[in-house]
Structure 1
Amino acid sequence: MDKITNIPEIRFDGFTDAWEQRRLGEVVDIRSGRDYKHLNKGNIPVYGTGGYMLSVDEALSYEDDAIGVGRKGTIDKPYLLKAPFWTVDTLFFSIPKTDYDLYFVNDIFQRINWKQLDESTGVPSLSKTAINAVKVQVPTFEEQIKIGNFFKHLDHLITLHQRKLELLYETKQTFLSQMFPKGEESVPEIRFEGYADAWEQRRLGDTVVIFAGGDIDKSKLKKVGKYPVLANALTNDGIVGYYDSDFRIEAPAVTVTGRGDVGYAKARKVNFTPVVRLLAIKSDNDVDFLENAINNHKVLVESTGVPQLTSPQLANYKILFPTIGEQTQIGTFFAAIDHLTTLHQRKLNTLKEIKKTLLKKMFV
């Protein structure tokens, strides 16, 4: 017996009927956006492929919510549009027809590989004909509502975590500007109690030892091990693999990217080996303070190609230092913010992975 393919792997209780195939043109009414420049300022949002742009005094849809999908440019980032709204001519808006739930249809749009429908040889483009012809599977209206509401709440949770994460980034930037001296000043705006002395400017090379990363023995590189091997990349903390027994730099230390996103510093609390174009710093200064002091430093690198930061250039950074005690207080404070940020990022990533998995298992 052939396997039934029009029933999802996971369903809500009480639903057993097979889903039915429809063309997207039977599910939504695809409408075109228009130029807004003739309109006056108002309180009705105008949307493009990248999201909100500005507000005007007229709407293309006053009552019907819809799903925006790019006609040209960014064609693979559909998103909900709450009425009233106006869309520009590069953004279609799709209004669900009778007996089709907005949030369920939005989930369908999230699953479609829009790039496969690209009809251009240059800037990515979609046509109404291509969109209308897409074949999708749909359940009864009642099951649509159940599924749509489920993902609506999950999306809300993801948005909340995203906002918390953005707030943490903003909070850190605010404190960086207030807890480090500005311009030619030698005293920060905000200090921990008990510290009043002016900070002292020092050439970084006079207070730290800088090591340049080198080639690695790839035959010893493991996916899992004791000592990380760190590259210039910032993703996954720059880890490209592990050595079981060898390392070059003893923690605590600070790494600084030497190519691409130059000048990015990160405190390291585990012994490690840096690869080519990653600089490492050993110092008696607090490493968490040093990370933020370097990141707060204005990087000026002369390069005619890909930006590069050399050991002598890093050594010439002029940075203001407080006492070790104050460094430790500041470093611990920012390390706590970074830890909280990491936890929120992991939660957000987990929620996104959960959604990705459920979109596969709860749809046909």
Structure 2
Amino acid sequence: MNKTPAVRFIGFAEDWEQRKFGDIVQTRRGLTYKPTDIEESGIRVLRSSNIDEDTFVYGVDDVFVNPYAVNIEPVRKNDILITSANGSSRLVGKHALIKKISDGSAVHGGFMLLGRTKNYDFVNASMSSSWYTKFINVFAAGGNGAIGNLNKNDLDEQIILIPDDAEQIKIGEYFAALDNLITLHQRKYEKLKNIKKSMLYKMFPKNGSNVPEIRFKGFTDAWEQRKFGDIVQTRRGLTYKPTDIEESGIRVLRSSNIDEDTFVYGVDDVFVNPYAVNIEPVRKNDILITSANGSSRLVGKHALIKKISDGSAVHGGFMLLGRTKNYDFVNASMSSSWYTKFINVFAAGGNGAIGNLNKNDLDEQIILIPDDAEQIKIGEYFAALDNLITLHHRKLKKLEQIKQAMLHKMFV
């Protein structure tokens, strides 16, 4: 068995040693309480919802109990919160280091475990490495409707490899700093998304109004009604046969090429023989729209195609394409309230049916638009905001990829 990681800090060369998890981490079961113990305030009970990915958070639906119902020790800063049981088996075993908590203010609930240890940053990082993933896959029972469960004794008895204290501290400090960077970029990313959501609400007219709440200086005229199809040329996509698919050729853009509201290339993109293509290729600044999908909530999602080589791609049969002069404005408008309401009414689906958006319904939809000059200003604003959001999202993804790579290389 290999007992050294692939990447180490300078000065460390000794083999890592085997230990039982329970010998280095004190694990404790959580509080069992009755519905009558719940109050509006009191002692907070930490649950699975207090772990967002691998970060500890307070939740809007946190539960509080009467202090007299608490018969276990409160959690402390730097304890590790672990989900031990959950109706969703994939959530069993998720964990987070409790970074901010007031003394005596909270306990962990009955479906949770708590880990307390000296080198908490190292242990928490270790629990994101391969040994823990394999352990959870083997020991966390569940599936077929059963509640997933992680047994405290199984975790305590698990054999892991650890270095001496000095190396544990260095590794822990590294991953703590990396987690802080990830959290920082996550917050910036979420803040920018919230700004965009707010400005979409304020910079487009609300129901019954023909002017928005916020406008650029110099614009005062009322917005005018237009059919969507009068300002946007929409086109249906390519229908192709399985025999048309090749390893390379013309890329067929699908719903998977829209990540939230950003155009992306995908690892599972489909290519077809050029001779199978009988529609016009997509162009830069076309708007890609999902018109049909097995998941109804994805119907109507859209993205502006920012980077594409001429003639290299077409849109698929379950997609629509929009082409318009003021594309940044129209794309932003399609993230505002009129479009959300339109999709909720006109995109059929549910109960197992494929969700569907009809081209004619979209073309006939009445929307409000300002003159060209104001469209351009609004479009430029949201394009700049989208660029900032994309920048922080890329930084966030890069940091997450670095973390995953280093978890693989810095643990045995």
Q: TM-score, normalised by structure 2?
A: 0.79
1:249 equivalent in alignment to 2:246: no
1:273 aligned partner = 314
Alignment check: 8 A CA contact 1:254 1:265 kept: yes
Q: CA deviation at 1:63?
A: 4.2
333, 351, 355: which is aligned to 2:403?
Answer: 355
Q: Sort the Cα spacing of 1:147 and 1:21 in 2 relative to 1 into closer, same or farther, 3 A.
A: same
Give, as a single letter, the amino acid of the residue that structure 1 aligns with 2:78: D
Q: Sort the Cα spacing of 1:340 and 1:221 in 2 relative to 1 into closer, same or farther, 3 A.
A: farther
Give the gaps of 5 or more residues in structure 2: 51-57
Give, as a single letter, the amino acid of the residue that structure 2 aligns with 1:283: T
Give, as a single letter, the amino acid of the residue that structure 2 aligns with 1:130: D
Residue by residue over 1:98-129, the C-alpha shift from the partner in whole angstroms, topping out at 9 and shown as x without a partner, is xx401111111112112332223522211112
Q: CA deviation at 1:316?
A: 2.5
1:187 aligned partner = 211
Alignment check: 8 A CA contact 2:210 2:222 kept: yes
Q: CA deviation at 1:249?
A: 2.9
1:136-285 paired onto structure 2 within 5 Å: 136-216=160-240, 218-219=244-245, 222=248, 228-233=251-256, 234-235=258-259, 237=263, 239=265, 240-241=269-270, 248-259=281-292, 260=296, 261-269=298-306, 270=308, 271=310, 272-284=313-325
Q: CA deviation at 1:77?
A: 1.8
17, 27, 32: which is aligned to 1:30?
Answer: 27
Q: CA deviation at 1:340?
A: 1.0
CA distance in structure 1 between the aligned counterparts of 2:74 and 2:126, rounded to whole angstroms: 21
- SS at structure 2 position matched to 1:307: strand
Of 306-315 and 242-251, the range deviating more from structure 2: 242-251
Q: Sort the Cα spacing of 1:359 and 1:62 in 2 relative to 1 into closer, same or farther, 3 A.
A: closer
> Identity across aligned pairs (percent)?
31
Residue by residue over 1:243-282, the C-alpha shift from the partner in whole angstroms, topping out at 9 and shown as x without a partner, is 8988523343212111231222222244541001110112
Give, as a single letter, the amino acid of the residue that structure 1 aligns with 2:367: I
Give, as a single letter, the amino acid of the residue that structure 2 aligns with 1:92: L
1:292 aligned partner = 332
Alignment check: 8 A CA contact 2:282 2:314 kept: yes
- SS at structure 1 position matched to 2:330: helix
1:9 aligned partner = 6
Alignment check: 8 A CA contact 2:232 2:323 kept: yes
CA distance in structure 1 between the aligned counterparts of 2:226 and 2:333, rounded to whole angstroms: 12
Q: Sort the Cα spacing of 1:168 and 1:242 in 2 relative to 1 into closer, same or farther, 3 A.
A: farther
1:21 equivalent in alignment to 2:18: yes
1:91 aligned partner = 112
Q: Sort the Cα spacing of 1:302 and 1:8 in 2 relative to 1 into closer, same or farther, 3 A.
A: closer
1:115 aligned partner = 137
61, 65, 76: which is aligned to 2:74?
Answer: 61
CA distance in structure 2 between the aligned counterparts of 1:273 and 1:72, rounded to whole angstroms: 46
CA distance in structure 1 between the aligned counterparts of 2:204 and 2:290, rounded to whole angstroms: 22
- SS at structure 2 position matched to 1:151: helix
CA root-mean-square deviation: 2.5
Q: TM-score, normalised by structure 1?
A: 0.89
Of 337-346 and 74-83, the range deviating more from structure 2: 74-83
Question: How many pairs were matched up?
Answer: 354
Alignment check: 8 A CA contact 2:18 2:159 kept: yes
Give the gaps of 5 or more residues in structure 1: none
CA distance in structure 2 between the aligned counterparts of 1:160 and 1:250, rounded to whole angstroms: 36
